[in-house]
Amino acid sequence: MLRLFLLSVLTSIPIFAQLGANPLSPMREGLDRKEAVKITDNIYQAIGFGNTFLVTTPEGNVIIDTSSVLAAPLHVKLLKARSAGPVKYIILTHGHGDHTGGVDLWKEPGTEVIAQKKQAEFLNYQERLNRFFAIRNAAQFVFPTPPAMAWPGDEGAKQLATIFFDDKYEFTLGGVKFELYSTPGETPDHLSVWIPQWKAAFTGDNFYASFPNIYTLRGTEPRMALDYVHSLDKVLTWRPEILLPSHGPALRGETEIATRVKMYRDAIRYVHDAVVMGMNDGKDVFTLMREIKLPEHLNVGEGYGKLTWSIRGIYEGYAGWFDLNPATMYEAPPSSPYADLVKLAGGPDPVVARALEVLQKGQAAEALRLTDAALAANAAHRGALEARLKALEYLRDQSKNSNERGWLEYSIREAKAKLK
Ligand SMILES: [Zn+2]
């Protein structure tokens, strides 16, 4: 979730762990827990953003995901209280920092760390953009912006895995067979783990209690909707009786799991196909963001991923940025006429008045656009900043989505700082 999800970039920011996160940060999920959850006699879950799983066998333990640098020390403590056996394998469902943050804490001499082979490039991609992501992660997850950091180069990430695989990897430990499958979705390097003898599936971030973040506001390469669909299909063929996502609680029961996973898959497929049909009909992305809604029987919620962002993510993931308007081909940004238009309108004051008027009607996004224009004419205009703050607070109060609230809070803090 990624719901959630701290980014791997954070693992490269030691200061983050020292600062802790702001009390408002979703990254603090599970930090008040006193013990790990027993799922079965051999599977334990430390709850967090994200979860860490411990699987015990007579010949040693397997760790599946390691949470963030913030949560990992607690997860290690809670899970080692359940079993202090040697850690033979660490499996990383993908390279986001809320899954990789505790690798160094779990690793012992001889521990193998397993990842899908695209993780090498995925970690490089995150590190290549280290400062870009650090700033955005700090905003989205509500913690202080870290200081400037050195650029490690294009292939400069610290690699974590000792074993990379392509489509499938399996091993047996203490008589327990672990099957690992490439299941791209949230990331290209995403994998899922299947333990046939316990009918337990560990699905990382390809399934959680919200429509997926097919686009995340902190920035991402395109996440392909059909990858999620195909990867969830693969999980369904196993007919799991326990499903262990890396965010949120475990699901139990073959029928319940099949119903929930099919609904999730079908919701993604529905939105994907609606976008594709709209693109083929010549519709623009904003029209599709307004038009496409999930039917009630596929309503999986939008507490983390948001439909409109995913619609745009799918559209632009396929087509990129050009919107057929020749003005878009050139360097002048859409905001380039703002200052002129505001002057022609009689200055920022009437524009701010109009912003407050549309805000009264509940059109907060339009009000924000008007304050963008007024502030382009005068960046310190008090009325424009106050109207902007009102629109942001209105949107925050309406929002049921944690990422949306995170970004609105960030902009609210920014507007307040300018008003001081
Ligand atoms: Zn995650």
192 alpha carbon to ligand 1 midpoint, in Å? 13
- What is the tens place of the pLDDT at every residue in 249-304? 999 999 999 999 999 999 999 999 999 999 999 999 999 999 999 999 999 999 99
Per the structure block, which two tokens stand in for 333?
A: 């940004």
* Banded pLDDT at 22 (limits 50, 70, 90): low
Report the candidate in 152, 180, 177 with the shortest Cα–Cα distance to residue 164: 180
For the cut 60, the answer to whether the pLDDT of residue 7 exceeds it is: no
120 alpha carbon to ligand 1 midpoint, in Å? 18
* Banded pLDDT at 15 (limits 50, 70, 90): very low
For the cut 50, the answer to whether the pLDDT of residue 1 exceeds it is: no
Residue 2: per-residue pLDDT? 39
Residue 23: per-residue pLDDT? 63
For the cut 90, the answer to whether the pLDDT of residue 21 exceeds it is: no
289 alpha carbon to ligand 1 midpoint, in Å? 25
100 alpha carbon to ligand 1 midpoint, in Å? 9
Report the pLDDT averaged over residues 223-228.
98
117 alpha carbon to ligand 1 midpoint, in Å? 18
Report the pLDDT averaged over residues 55-84.
97
285 alpha carbon to ligand 1 midpoint, in Å? 27
337 alpha carbon to ligand 1 midpoint, in Å? 41
205 alpha carbon to ligand 1 midpoint, in Å? 6
- What is the tens place of the pLDDT at every residue in 97-138? 999 999 999 999 999 999 999 999 999 999 999 999 999 988
**pLDDT, averaged across the chain:** 93
* Banded pLDDT at 140 (limits 50, 70, 90): confident
Three-state SS for the chain is CCCCCCCHHHHCCHHHHHHCCCCCCHHHCCCCCCCCEECCCCEEEECCCCCEEEEEECCEEEEEEECCCCCHHHHHHHHHCCCCCCEEEEECCCCCHHHHCCHHHHCCCCCEEEEECCHHHHHHHHHHCHHHHHHHHHHHCCCCCCCCCCCCCCCCCCCCCCEEECCEEEEEECCEEEEEEECCCCCCCCEEEEEHHHCEEEEECCCCCCCCCCCCCCCCCCCCHHHHHHHHHHHHHHCCCEEEECCCCCEECHHHHHHHHHHHHHHHHHHHHHHHHHHHCCCCHHHHHHHCCCCHHHCCCCCCCCHHHHHHHHHHHHHCCCCCCHHHHCCCCCCCCHHHHHHHCCCHHHHHHHHHHHHHCCCHHHHHHHHHHHHHHCCCCHHHHHHHHHHHHHHHHHCCCHHHHHHHHHHHHHHHHHHC
- What is the tens place of the pLDDT at every residue in 372-412? 999 999 999 999 999 999 999 999 999 999 889 989 999 99
State percent of the chain over pLDDT 90.
88
Distance CA 69, CA 379 (A): 38
Residue 14: per-residue pLDDT? 38
CB of 317 within 8 A of CB of 222? Answer: yes
377 alpha carbon to ligand 1 midpoint, in Å? 41
375 alpha carbon to ligand 1 midpoint, in Å? 37
20: left (phi over 0), alpha (psi -120 to 50) or beta: left
252 alpha carbon to ligand 1 midpoint, in Å? 21
Report the pLDDT averaged over residues 350-363.
98
88 alpha carbon to ligand 1 midpoint, in Å? 23
353 alpha carbon to ligand 1 midpoint, in Å? 43
298 alpha carbon to ligand 1 midpoint, in Å? 23
Distance CA 168, CA 182 (A): 6
For the cut 60, the answer to whether the pLDDT of residue 10 exceeds it is: no
384 alpha carbon to ligand 1 midpoint, in Å? 37
CB of 208 within 8 A of CB of 245? Answer: yes
123 alpha carbon to ligand 1 midpoint, in Å? 14
CB of 211 within 8 A of CB of 293? Answer: no
Distance CA 3, CA 1 (A): 2
275 alpha carbon to ligand 1 midpoint, in Å? 26
